[in-house]
Structure formats: structure tokens, C-alpha cells
């Protein structure tokens, strides 16, 4: 069965606490430190030991509402799956060096993180709990985008699907909002594209998501 790391984003209230206590940019879900890895660990442990009649509730996240759905709305899976596949955009990403973190790489970082507090904290999460989590996987497959520039198009496709409209009908204001949103992911994505990822297999994709090469 497949589980997305998106299913275990921290709740809105938990991210608001991080934004207040650590850095305002941590209100935005997605970067390391904004997931409930303990919840995911418990979920994997339960699935791995479930009996034929045991039920496991799989968390779900409301992206439009920006909060986790209440447990009553979570889907349920019976029994023990033959395999557990975890989908995560940052799976296997390695931490950066202090020198790599020093300079902002986009407008978001220059404006909202000029002193590097946010990117340093996120990097520490990647080097600590996330690295330990990655080490537990039996295998990691990296689906590699052709460039960071296609990420906006792919994210717009996802948003159009969430809104129930054709990509061509996605409002320009929504695309502009997403262009800012993905800047939260740009540093780690570019680092991974440059080789900053622990991985057994890399699948290089084209802009249309077709497989171009398997390494």
C-alpha cells in the first residue's frame, strides 16, 4: 500500500506554534520539520504487525483547508500489506554544509530569512530526525524532475485538480501564489537535483513525467 508523507503534515495549530517559537516561515507545510514523523512511525509499525482482521486508520490532510482531517474521516485498511510505499518529495535528501546555506537562493529567502534562521533550522531537521528516518528504508527510489523550472507547472496541475478545473482555467493569481509557495522547496529540490540525495535507484523523468532513464 502507498502512504504519502503529505498525510502526516503537522496540524495547523502545531505549525502556528513553530512559526511563533522558531520562525514564521514554518507555518508553511512541506519542508523538513513540518511533518509528524512519530505519527508516521507508529502507522508503519502498526501496519507491519497487523493481523488479518486488524484495522489501521490512515491519516489524511486537507490541503485546501491546510489542516489534518479529524480521525473520523481517515481511511481504514484491513490486515497487513505486502509492502509499504512512502511517497515523499524530500525522501533521501541530504543536509547541506554551512557554506551552502550561507547565501539566500531566491526572493523568499532574501526577504523572509536574510539571517538564515529558517533554512538552518530546516537543515538541522534534515540532518537529524529525517536522516535517521531515511536510514530505515529498505530501498529508496528518486523520481528526478528534469529541472526545478518544471516544478511550478507540475504543482499547478495538482492545484487545478484540487479545484476541479482544467489547467488552462487555473487563475493567474493562483499560479502566482504557487510560484511563491514552491520557493519554500527550492533549496532542497535543487540540492537533490545536484546529487544531494541518498538513493539506490534514480528514475529521470521528462517534463511530461515520462521515464527517460533509470540509473
| pLDDT tens, residue by residue, 172-186 | 999 999 999 999 999
- The residues spanned by each domain of the chain are 1-88, 89-215
The angle formed by the CA atoms of residues 179, 165 and 181, to the nearest 5 degrees, is 15
pLDDT band at 108 (very low <50, low <70, confident <90, very high): very high
CATH topology of domain 1-88: Rossmann fold (3.40.50)
Report the half-sphere exposure of 133 (CA within 13 A, side-chain side): 25
Among left, alpha and beta (phi > 0; psi -120 to 50; other), residue 164 is left
| pLDDT tens, residue by residue, 154-174 | 999 989 998 899 999 999 999
* 132 grid coordinates: 535517521
Decide: 90 and 69 in contact? Cβ < 8 Å.
Answer: no
What's residue 200's pLDDT? 85
Mean pLDDT across 3-22: 97
Mean pLDDT across 55-64: 95
Task: State the pTM of this model.
Answer: 0.93
Amino acid at each position: 500500500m502507498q502512504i504519502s508523507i503529505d498525510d502526516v503534515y503537522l496540524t495547523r495549530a502545531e505549525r502556528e506554534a513553530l512559526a511563533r517559537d522558531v520562525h514564521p516561515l514554518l507555518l508553511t507545510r512541506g519542508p523538513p520539520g513540518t511533518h509528524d514523523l512519530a505519527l508516521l512511525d507508529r502507522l508503519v509499525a502498526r501496519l507491519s504487525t497487523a493481523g488479518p482482521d486488524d484495522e489501521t486508520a490512515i491519516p489524511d490532510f486537507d490541503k485546501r483547508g491546510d489542516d489534518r482531517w479529524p480521525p473520523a474521516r481517515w481511511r481504514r485498511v484491513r490486515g497487513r500489506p505486502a509492502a509499504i510505499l512512502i511517497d515523499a518529495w524530500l525522501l533521501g535528501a541530504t543536509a547541506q554544509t554551512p557554506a551552502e546555506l550561507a547565501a539566500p537562493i531566491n526572493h523568499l529567502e532574501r526577504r523572509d530569512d536574510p539571517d538564515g534562521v529558517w533554512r538552518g533550522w530546516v537543515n538541522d531537521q534534515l540532518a537529524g530526525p529525517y536522516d535517521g528516518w531515511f536510514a530505515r528504508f529498505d530501498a529508496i527510489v528518486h523520481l528526478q524532475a528534469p529541472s526545478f523550472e518544471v516544478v511550478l507547472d507540475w504543482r499547478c496541475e495538482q492545484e487545478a485538480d484540487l479545484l476541479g478545473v482544467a489547467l488552462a482555467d487555473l487563475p493567474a493569481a493562483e499560479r502566482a501564489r504557487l510560484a511563491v509557495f514552491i520557493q519554500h522547496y527550492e533549496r532542497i529540490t535543487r540540492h537533490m537535483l545536484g546529487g544531494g540525495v541518498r538513493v539506490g535507484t534514480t528514475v529521470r523523468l521528462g517534463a511530461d513525467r515520462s521515464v527517460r532513464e533509470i540509473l
